[in-house]
A and B are shown apart, each in its own frame.
Chain A
């Protein structure tokens, strides 16, 4: 398939990474080369095959409903670039 530059722009918006037009051009060429290589995967017949997620094939493990030691709210926000009263601070969202 052909990777258009506007697809790269769309992906960068979905991934929340701002890119310059120069970067979009470069990634377009590189993604084209990688996806071009990966396209041969489509020739593998997978009719009737279930997806394989990992070797343990465990799904939805449940933990016991018990309180265990965990971080205090103060510790949990300590690495935040901006916090106040144990809460994360972001730019104003509602006018």
Chain B
């Protein structure tokens, strides 16, 4: 059932929130020992919420909608571990802004989902609590870092989920699991209560079955919040009711030589369908995108090395038993609390920010970031939206990239551009490979024009149905 159908059925009293919640819990019980989408199921809390909702006269826009929450989003009095041993026992004393909004809208919070530690990874293999499986084939990764959220939706354990996207962490698992993943414009959704990875990129967004569902979740969580100084209140762009005359830019950088042929033909077919509905294909070039991966990882790791300085074994999080003095308390708590990938990124970020290297690496990357931003602006002077594959391949097998960091980083090559420039971007299912693995089509729009991106995605979704 879609969100529209559920909230109508609950609003009209045809279904109770308790029934819906019990059904979702039964589904999780049945499938999650295999899939491991959840690190914590909020069974008692969800049932209590459902019972209260069933008593309410006036119900909110997400009444009875079962939502799963990525475990880097703080939930009051419910452990929030961020996929990390260092936060294994952390219990937030407050709700994130998006959680307050979901509760006010009467969504049912069903549990916390698995993720790569601190959002650092593209497969959930870097979770301290074991990986999540792809429901289309359990030998394959679900993508990451919001892999638990994507699997929960794809497997029907939840109607919708919240993820967070720093370099593609909503869109790539969306593509790998055949779900819709939407990263709003930077600043559209408050980051208050989101555990920080790279603050100038991090953005919360929905993972759902349909574009309309994604919009309904987005409508609830978006808005200005004084507790996040970068949150904005600006118009969302003009609505688009048809693909007729919509200019779809096809950047050549999204179709590099040697691109997987199934990926290329799936996206090609989707664009041809859109053309059939009256859209206009505009070949385009965004030359600086060739530098996107390097600029993105340098800046993201630099910000991460600074943000993760707070895990010192003193204020909260893991503290080593082996700590005779303050320095060894820091050194050993961080050694024991962080996993391999997190350490690697902190070291790289520390390198890029350290005396003697900062201007040449971090400083240089920030300037390249401006060039990329300007290149996108030039492109959007000519087109309404940009389209291409979400990822260079379908889901990969467990273990395939885990020992080769660079290989793993390169799987984000098409998604990081939107984070560097702060643009709204969405991945929608565009078909499957011969082996039955889902593929995604990515659309990117102008900054703050979130509505046109959702509208165009919805039209393309319709033409592909």
Q: Which residues of A contact B (CB under 8 A)?
A: 7-8, 11-12, 14-19, 23, 27, 30-31, 33-35, 37-38, 40-42, 44, 46, 49-56, 58, 61, 63, 71, 75-76, 78-82, 88, 90-93
Contact = CB atoms under 8 A, between A and B. Distances in A.
Contacts of B343: 17, 19, 23, 27
A34 B324 CA distance: 35
B288 A44 contact: yes
B331 A46 contact: no
B316 A80 contact: yes
Nearest to B372: A52
Interface of B: 89-91, 93-94, 185-187, 200-201, 226, 229-230, 232, 288, 291, 294-295, 297-298, 305, 309, 312-319, 323-332, 334-335, 338, 343-344, 346-348, 350-351, 354, 360-361, 363-371, 373, 405-406, 409, 421-423, 447
Contact of B348 (A34, A55, A79): A34
Contacts of B367: 46, 49-52
A41 B294 contact: yes
B350 A11 contact: yes
21 contacts: A14-B350, A15-B305, A17-B335, A17-B347, A18-B332, A18-B334, A27-B344, A35-B348, A41-B298, A41-B365, A42-B364, A46-B364, A46-B367, A50-B367, A54-B201, A55-B185, A55-B421, A56-B230, A90-B314, A91-B325, A91-B326
Contact of B294 (A18, A40, A55, A80): A40
B313 A51 contact: no
Most chain B Cβ neighbours within 10 Å, of A17, A35, A88: A17
B369 A52 contact: yes
Most chain B Cβ neighbours within 10 Å, of A11, A18, A31: A18
A50 B329 contact: no
A56 B406 contact: no
Nearest to B349: A15
A80 B334 contact: no
Contacts of B90: 79
Given A17-B335, A17-B346, A53-B366, A81 B319 contact: yes
Contact of B344 (A7, A18, A31, A90): A31
A66 B267 CA distance: 52
Most chain B Cβ neighbours within 10 Å, of A12, A40, A52, A75: A52
A90 B442 CA distance: 49
A58 B297 CA distance: 22
A78 B368 CA distance: 43
A71 to B, nearest CB: 6
Contacts of B93: 71, 75-76, 78-79
Given A17-B331, A56-B186, A11 B347 contact: yes
Contacts of B328: 18
A61 B232 CA distance: 12
A38 B319 contact: no
Nearest to A72: B93
Contact of B329 (A11, A61, A78, A91): A91
Nearest to B232: A56
Contact of A11 (B288, B298, B354, B370): B354
A4 to B, nearest CB: 12
B371 A49 contact: yes
Nearest to B343: A17
Nearest to A64: B226
Given A18-B335, A34-B405, A82-B319, 12 more contacts: A17-B334, A18-B332, A27-B344, A27-B347, A35-B351, A40-B294, A42-B360, A42-B364, A51-B370, A54-B200, A63-B226, A80-B315
B298 to A, nearest CB: 6
Contacts of B201: 54
Contacts of A31: 344, 347-348, 351
Contacts of A30: 344, 405
Given A33-B406, A38-B298, A46 B368 contact: yes
B315 A88 contact: yes
Most chain A Cβ neighbours within 10 Å, of B312, B316, B347, B366: B347
A23 B334 CA distance: 14
Contacts of B294: 37-38, 40-41
Contacts of B348: 31, 34-35
* Top 7 A-B pairs, shortest CB-CB distance: A55-B422, A52-B370, A51-B366, A81-B319, A79-B316, A46-B367, A61-B229
Nearest to A70: B94
B186 A55 contact: yes
Nearest to B186: A55
B94 A71 contact: yes
A1 to B, nearest CB: 9
A69 to B, nearest CB: 10
Contacts of A46: 364, 367-368, 371
A34 B347 contact: no
A31 B90 CA distance: 31
Given A56-B187, A56-B232, A51 B369 contact: yes
B363 A51 contact: yes
